[in-house]
A = this chain, B = another copy of it.
Amino acid sequence: MGVGSRKRDILRVVVTDYIKLAHPIGSRSIARRYKMGFSPATIRNEMADLEELGYLIQPHTSAGRIPTQKGYRYYVDELMEESDLDEEEKKKILEVYEYERMREIEEIIKHTSRLLSSITNYTSLILGPQLRKSAFKKLQIMPIDSQRGLLVLVSDTGFVKNKVINLPQTLSSGELNKIVSYLNRRLEGLSLEQFTSRLINELRRDLYHYVRFLEDTFTLVEESLTEDERRVILGGTTNILNQPEFGDIEKVKGLLSLFEQHSQLASLLSAPLADVDSVIIRIGRENILEEVQECSLVMTTYRLGNDIIGTIGLLGPTRMNYSKAVSVVRQVARRLEVM
């Protein structure tokens, strides 16, 4: 299919119209809506060819055509033009981040997810800061009462994690301070993925008197690396219900309960790290998970500092407005990077 060929034009029209109208597109309606200079019959022939080639399909004989997954793929790769955002949408983006300068990273992400879903009416997914890649910044243990203390861990990307731990009664505040400053010295600048069992054992040796209460400290860091890395922030989870293709409860059920399983979502968002900065589109069955095989995901990575720290994405039906989704995701990611 060469550039400027009639087939290309017709495929483009079918895809964009189907995205807009959500029902099969017939030759007659194309001829009516766009004055292409061909009769419906000609268009019909071309459409039959496009079906032969696997780009279109008929839901049943004598309905119009709708794009196949391959058709969408060709569209986003070859035909789509990235649309510019409305003035209003641009303004919305600016406003959100206007007042966000000082907040914690968690807050920024939550607002971002709300922003994405409110502009697009799709569901937004944000894979939070990859704690693994971020560096240790500071650790502190503040005594709460005689038995308990609060362990606080801060990463250079502004991520904070707490845990209440037991303190041995025998521990003086002087000793505690010494331990804390030892740990800070020892861990300074390490990325959290360097916090391996070898390192832990080394620390254990050095601090063998206090090992029992330090176990909690180690546990916290480990939890941060595993469980917490999979944290996904969602926005607009009910937007999907407005899509006509999800009018059936059964279809929605799987999707909505997927939204409660963060580790699954995290795997969905794991992008090939090669394509940093580019926007990745996964259409239908290109996604691994069963539940989203009738959905598409438009996503990109965002960075804070120099390391990649997360992914933001929009999930909609395969019939989603890719053009808009791509530009929204791109713009917001860019905006996020200058925070």
Contact = CB atoms under 8 A, between A and B. Distances in A.
Measured as residues with beta carbon below 8 angstroms from the partner, the interface class of chain A is 20 to 34
Interface in A213-254: 216, 237-238, 241-242, 246-249, 252-253
Interface in A41-75: none
A166 B140 CA distance: 18
A152 B143 CA distance: 12
B104 A163 contact: yes
Interface stretch (A154-162, A190-198, A275-283, A292-300): A154-162
Interface in A112-151: 137-138, 140, 142-145, 150
Copies in the complex: 2
A164 B102 contact: yes
B102 A166 contact: yes
A256 interface: yes
A33 interface: no
A260 B241 contact: no
A252 B238 CA distance: 10
A144 B150 contact: no
Nearest to A101: B166
A104 B137 CA distance: 23
A173 interface: no
Nearest to A140: B142
20 contacts: A102-B164, A102-B166, A103-B164, A104-B162, A138-B143, A140-B140, A140-B142, A140-B150, A142-B142, A150-B160, A158-B164, A160-B162, A237-B256, A237-B260, A241-B249, A241-B252, A241-B256, A248-B249, A249-B249, A252-B252
